[in-house]
Amino acid sequence: MHKLILPLILSLATAAQAQGTGVVYKCPGNPVLYTDALTSEQARARGCTTIEGAPITIVQSTRVRPAASAPAVPRPADAKVDPGTQRERDSDARRILGDELRKEEEALAALKRAYNNGEPERLGDERNYQKYLDRVAEMKAGILRKEADIAAIKRELAKLPL
């Protein structure tokens, strides 16, 4: 039996040498680096360990080339907007935002009236006090949302030219 094992071991060692002559190292880092391009001193300095027992296939990836910076394409002259047309668009935007602002302010005023400084009227189906507290919390959140919406509309109005 020993006579059979020795030739088998020698043939496996020869096959392993033919398959890859270099040692594969696993180096720590993010991502983990597997390489066979290091010397043993370099691997030791980086804290790499050798990989044994598992077959490893190393595939060379293609290098990513930096994208060629495309020259800026000038806009054609006819794409520019006439100043009168732009003023018209701005006035339409101002009118639409103004209408939206008035609608949101009216809704906020109605919410604040119903909220009644944190003590709204209890409804008939709110015998459970927790239901009442939940409705009050929803009302308060609604008021905060409306105030944030109004502030956003005012910021948009401020961006428009006069």
Q: Which tens digit of pLDDT belongs to each residue from 134-161?
A: 999 999 999 999 999 999 999 999 998 8
Q: How far apart, in whole angstroms, are the C-alpha atoms of residue 106 and residue 50?
A: 73
Q: How far apart, in whole angstroms, are the C-alpha atoms of residue 137 and residue 105?
A: 20
Query: Is residue 32 in a domain?
Result: yes
Per-residue pLDDT of 93-139, as tens digits, reads 999 999 999 999 999 999 999 999 888 888 888 788 898 999 999 99
Are 32 and 94 in a shared domain?
A: no
Q: Is the pLDDT of residue 1 over 80?
A: no
Per-residue pLDDT of 7-36, as tens digits, reads 444 444 444 444 444 677 778 876 777 777
Contact 118, 69 (CB under 8 A): no
Residue with the bigger pLDDT between 41 and 51: it is 41
Are 45 and 85 in a shared domain?
A: no
What is the residue range of 40's domain? 21-56
Contacts of 93 (CB under 8 A, 6+ apart): 160
Residue in 63, 66, 69, 153 with CA at minimum distance from that of residue 104: 153
- Reported confidence tier of residue 73, pLDDT bands at 50, 70, 90: low
At residue 104, the pLDDT reads: 96
Query: Is residue 63 in a domain?
Result: no
Return the amino acid letter for 23: V
At residue 71, the pLDDT reads: 61
At residue 35, the pLDDT reads: 76
∠ Cα 19 62 49 (to 5°) = 50
Domain boundary (39, 56, 73) is at 56
| Cross-sheet strand order for the sheet of 49-50 | 33-35, 25-27, 49-50
Contact 36, 22 (CB under 8 A): yes
Return the amino acid letter for 4: L
Are 35 and 86 in a shared domain?
A: no
Query: Is residue 67 in a domain?
Result: no
